[in-house]
Amino acid sequence: MNTNVGESQNISKPPFFDGNIYGHWKAKMTIFIQSLDYNLWDLVVDGPNLPTVTLENGVVVPKPRNLYDDNDRRRDQINSKAKHIIIYAINSNDFNRISSCIFAKEIWDRLEVTYEGTNQVKEAKNSMLVQEYEMFTMNETEDIKSMFCRFINIINALQALDKTYSNSEMVRIVCITSKESQRPSIRGSSRVINDP
């Protein structure tokens, strides 16, 4: 399995998703799109605000493209740009999965459901990770560095599912679960959590 997930890429190109480690790619892609234009990111998260017209009977319908004004075309172009960025960053299997999507939000949502699951699946993962966090202990054969790395992986997985803990809570868990003989080394490790 490739764990490299587009390391050291050109910052003008979106991070490439090879089908592995979706959470890392999602975080990098979010930052990449936001760095280009927050309007793009808003469109990916909220979906497009499609132009509409109100008929004489008061019914609101999608505006025909031949009636688009410059503002309507700009909004449509932002959607196309967001789609292009995401499509450029995914492998051919995922492209086949999303090729029928019209809007960037549809693409993003389909990738999320494919790799993170539905809301029910996310809740189950979240519950499992919260339990793993709350029951976290240092293994008998584990050194502080390995324990801390395993702990950070749990924290990162929780953050990917929008579950966060305060820095002081995380440091408390690490201090409680570490072996007595390892406690002096924890002070250095806790700085990693606290440093921006």
pLDDT tens digits, 32-87 = 999 999 999 999 999 988 888 999 999 999 899 999 999 999 989 999 999 999 99
What's residue 71's pLDDT?
92
Q: Measure the CA–CA gap between 53 and 70, rounded to whole angstroms.
A: 15
- Alpha-carbon dihedral sign for residues 80, 85, 86, 92: positive
Domain boundaries, the chain: 22-116, 119-194
Low-confidence ranges of the chain (pLDDT < 70): 1-9, 178-196
Residue 55 φ/ψ region, left for φ over 0, alpha for ψ in the -120 to 50 degree band, beta for the rest = beta
Q: Measure the CA–CA gap between 104 and 82, rounded to whole angstroms.
A: 6
What's residue 171's pLDDT?
82
5 by DSSP, 3-state: which? coil
What's residue 195's pLDDT?
47
Tell me the DSSP string of 69-134: -HHHHHHHHHHHHHHHHHHHTB-HHHHHHHTT--SHHHHHHHHHHHHH--HHHHHHHHHHHHHHHH
What's residue 182's pLDDT?
53
Segment 74-88, tens digit of pLDDT: 989 999 999 999 999
What's residue 117's pLDDT?
80
